[in-house]
Every structure is written in C-alpha cells, then in structure tokens.
Amino acid sequence: MSDKNSQTGLGFAPKSSQTYIVITAFLSLFALVGFAFYGLPFFFDFMAKEYGWSRTVITSGNALGKLLVGPLFGFIAGWLIDKYGPRRLMLAGVLFMGTALIGLSFADTLPLFYLFYIFNALGYVCGGPLPCQVLISRWFDRNRGKAMGIAYLGIGAGGAVVPLLAAGLEKSYGWHNSLAALGVLVILIAFPMVFFIKGASTLEGSHADKEPAVPIKNILTNPNFYLLAIGSMCAIGVVGGVNQHLKLYLRDIEFSQTQAAHVISLVLLCSLIGRVLMGWLADLFPRKYVMILIYLIVASAIPLLLVPDFPGRIYIFAVVFGIGLGGDYMIIPLMAGDLFGVRALGRTMGIILVADGVAESTFPMFLGAMHDAQDTYSTAFIILIGVALTGALIVSFLPKTGNRTE
C-alpha cells in the first residue's frame, strides 16, 4: 500500500493528509502568532518615545481589542469552525492580521491605534491558535500531543526570527516601515496555507467523526470546564504580561536594541524545546501533571527578573521561561480534547480563549499601570509569580485522564 493511502492508527487519515495538516498549522502559527503577536511588543518602546504614550496606554490597545472581539466573536468563531471547518475563518484571520500590522505602522492617534488593534484581535481569533487546535485534534488521536507540539513549533520559530528581523529592518528603514513589512510578510507566509486544507475541514472515519457529540450545555455545567478555564487564564495572563513588557523591561536595565532582540529571540528559541518536550510528555503522562509542571517552570523563571544582577541572569531567565512558555499554549487544548471530546473542541476552546483573551489583555495593562505608578516592575512580577502558582493549584483538581462529559 502506498504511503498516501496507508493507515496510521489514527482513524482512516492518510499519512500525507496528516502531514499537510501539521504544515498548515505550523505556517499559520508561525505568521499570525510568532510574527504578529510576538513581533508587536518589539515596537512598543518606539511608540512610547515618538508619541509620548505611557506603558498603560500602549498595552491598552491589546486589552481593548481582546475584550471587544473575544466575548463578541470568540463563541461565534468556535461554532463556525465546528460547523464549517476552519478554512474560511483562517483566510479572514490572515487578512485581518496583516492589515492590523500595516495599519499600526502609521497609527499615530489613539483612535487609529485602537481600530487596528481590533483588527489584530480579529486576526488572532480567526486565524490563530483556535482553528489550528481544532485541525490537529480532528486529524490526530494517538499522537495528538506530538502533532500539537510540532505544529506549535511555528510560534517559537516565528517568534525567534521576528525580533532579529525587526531589529535589522528598523536599523535600515525605521520602525514604521519595519512594522508594515512584517504585516506584508504575515500575508505572504500564511495565506497560501489554505491550499493545504482544501477539502479537509472534516475527516470522515476519523476519531472525531466516530466520537459522539457533547452538547455545549453539558460542558458548561461540568466543574472541570471552569477549573480548566480559570487555570488557563492564570497561565496565559502571566506569560502574556511578561511577553508584552519584556523588551520594555530590558530597555529599562539598559539593554541595547540588539541585545534585547537577542534575549527575546532566545526565549522563543527555547520555547521550541518546551513545545516538543511537553508534547512528548503529554503523550506519556496524565496531562494535568504536565500542565502543573509548565506552570511551575514559568513561576520559577520570574524571580530571576527580581534578584540582584549577576552574569547571565537574563539569559538564564530566557531559557527557563522559554521552556515553560513553549508548553503553555499547547497543553490547554489537549486537556480540553480529553475532557470534552474533539467534536466540541471548537466551541470549548472558543469559550476558553475568550477567558484567556481577558487575562492576556488585562494583565499587561495591569503591569503597565503598576510600572507607571511605581517606576519599577518588582511588585507586578511578584504578583505574577503568585498567579502562576495559583493556576498550578487549580489545575491539580482536574482528573488525571479524559473524564469526558457524557
């Protein structure tokens, strides 16, 4: 039997189709999350200097976009993906995200800044993690953790490249043109991915196809859903807060643009290790223990930003935090799939991503406000450590295995 038609032990999915799905998810996450999500904070210090905006204002764009778009559109996006497949939504997401970066490159007034951050949020919801999580979960069963880990390498790869690329472009062309160029690259990299998933929005005979549908009412009345959602909010809020302010913090301690770019790149490079490692562990051990491990790694990294300086302090932080960051976003949909099934994963993760969006948007603004008030991040970082540990405690109450709602 040819490789194209051979069975994989994952339903009736041919190996070639699974390869296409992983490539599609990788490219989408590379561009829309790696390039766009991790690329934007690189330009915050330029905006603050040129426009005179405070750190609270700069991070409020992300907050406004996520808080407006998430609750209004996150539920709808999950339902649309479950019903029609992710292809159309991913196309729209790519265009929204590319337009957002191009628009933010010249948005010198707050109304324009907020408008294009709304576009940014639409791009993230439509084309980012949610449709990719559904793709992987529908096409993979036995090796789902490994497949999710490989696909999520796109975030680390894109995030590792973008600070170095942005720093180089900024030196030659200025930050406005550099940010616009990233928007064009997002479209060029991600838009062709749709051809990989033509006709593959549903998988006949697959694990997902055979699995009984779980009514959303059953999910929303299950206590495990709220444990997962709140635990996820804690972790996403912490890593979002650190990511949005890391370059600003590095500039505060007098790192140059190039040095800061190297540190951010190292964080995302180490996230590649974290994604592969945690994906592998998630296929071997109860996933709640892997989640707890990830949260503890993140919590253990942040004190390195508080202690007196010593040689290599920031680079050790970058390695430890990067490994935790790598597993964080990937493990949540794996747990959701175990608990509630992959046929309802779009709706389940749509709701969880709304909650995550609230945390991911408000925590950076909270850090910015605390820094503006105290001229230091110390108190804010201590609070983040406490939140990460709280998330680990909440997750510890989840069941060990996929105790799915009946």
C-alpha–C-alpha distance, residues 327 and 265, integer Å: 17
Q: What is the DSSP string of 300-325?
A: HHGGGGTSPP-TTHHHHHHHHHHHHH
| pLDDT at residue 366 in the model | 93
Minimum mean pLDDT among 86-100, 193-207, 254-268: which range? Answer: 193-207
Percent of the chain with pLDDT over 90: 50
The model's pLDDT over 165-175, given as tens digits with 9 standing for 90+, comes to 999 999 999 99
The model's pLDDT over 355-389, given as tens digits with 9 standing for 90+, comes to 888 898 899 999 999 999 999 999 999 999 999 99
Residue 168 CB neighbours (<10 A): 13
CA distance to 24, 26, 67, 235, 379, per residue, from 14 (Å): 16, 19, 40, 35, 52
C-alpha–C-alpha distance, residues 108 and 113, integer Å: 7
Among candidate residues 190, 212, 240, the one with its CA nearest the CA of residue 342: 212
In a domain? residue 208: no
**Angle, to 10 degrees, between the axis of helix 378-395 and the axis of helix 223-252?**
160
| pLDDT at residue 3 in the model | 40
In a domain? residue 129: yes
CA distance to 49, 345, 383, per residue, from 242 (Å): 20, 28, 12
**Largest Cα–Cα distance of the chain, in whole Å?**
67
C-alpha–C-alpha distance, residues 66 and 70, integer Å: 5
* pLDDT higher than 80, residue 149: no
| pLDDT at residue 197 in the model | 67
| pLDDT at residue 89 in the model | 84
The model's pLDDT over 96-118, given as tens digits with 9 standing for 90+, comes to 999 999 999 999 999 999 999 99
In degrees rounded to 5, what are phi and psi of residue 226? Answer: -75, -35
| pLDDT at residue 199 in the model | 46
In a domain? residue 400: no
| pLDDT at residue 213 in the model | 61
Amino acid symbol at 142: R
| pLDDT at residue 7 in the model | 39
| pLDDT at residue 205 in the model | 42
Among candidate residues 77, 93, 85, the one with its CA nearest the CA of residue 189: 93
CA distance to 132, 236, 376, per residue, from 327 (Å): 15, 11, 29
The structure tokens listed for 42 are 């690189």
* pLDDT higher than 50, residue 258: yes
In a domain? residue 3: no
The model's pLDDT over 196-221, given as tens digits with 9 standing for 90+, comes to 665 444 444 445 455 556 677 888 88
Count: domains in the chain: 1
Mean pLDDT of 70-81: 71
* pLDDT higher than 50, residue 222: yes
- 0.85 cut: is pTM over it? no
In a domain? residue 1: no
Question: What residue numbers bound the domain in which 379 lies?
Answer: 15-200+214-395
Minimum mean pLDDT among 211-220, 269-278, 346-355: which range? Answer: 211-220
Handedness of CA 250, 255, 257, 260 (dihedral sign): negative
Among candidate residues 81, 86, 118, the one with its CA nearest the CA of residue 99: 118
* 3-class SS of residue 98: helix
* pLDDT higher than 60, residue 276: yes
Q: What is the DSSP string of 238-299?
A: HHHHHHHHHHHHHHHTT--HHHHHHHHHHHHHHHHHHHHHHHHHHHHS-HHHHHHHHHHHHH
In a domain? residue 401: no
Highest mean pLDDT among 2-11, 72-81, 118-127, 232-241: 232-241
CA distance to 40, 142, 153, 267, 277, per residue, from 274 (Å): 22, 20, 9, 10, 5
| pLDDT at residue 226 in the model | 93
In a domain? residue 402: no
Among candidate residues 189, 146, 185, the one with its CA nearest the CA of residue 169: 185
Q: Under a CB-based contact definition with an 8 Å cutoff, are residues 53 and 177 in contact?
A: no
Minimum mean pLDDT among 121-130, 138-147, 393-402: which range? Answer: 138-147
Eight-class DSSP state of 215: -
Q: Under a CB-based contact definition with an 8 Å cutoff, are residues 181 and 173 in contact?
A: yes
In a domain? residue 303: yes
Domain of 307, CATH number, reads 1.20.1250.20
Q: Which residues have C-beta within 8 Å of that of residue 192, sequence separation ≥ 6? A: 27
Mean pLDDT of 285-294: 92
Q: Does 266 or 219 have the greater pLDDT score?
A: 266
Ramachandran quadrant class, 375 (left: phi over 0; alpha: psi -120 to 50; beta: rest): left
C-alpha–C-alpha distance, residues 117 and 100, integer Å: 6
CA dihedral 343, 125, 267, 373 (to 10 degrees): -130
Residue 194 CB neighbours (<10 A): 17
Highest mean pLDDT among 38-52, 76-90, 204-218: 38-52
| pLDDT at residue 298 in the model | 96
C-alpha–C-alpha distance, residues 160 and 267, integer Å: 7
Eight-class DSSP state of 212: P
Q: What is the mean pLDDT of the chain?
A: 84
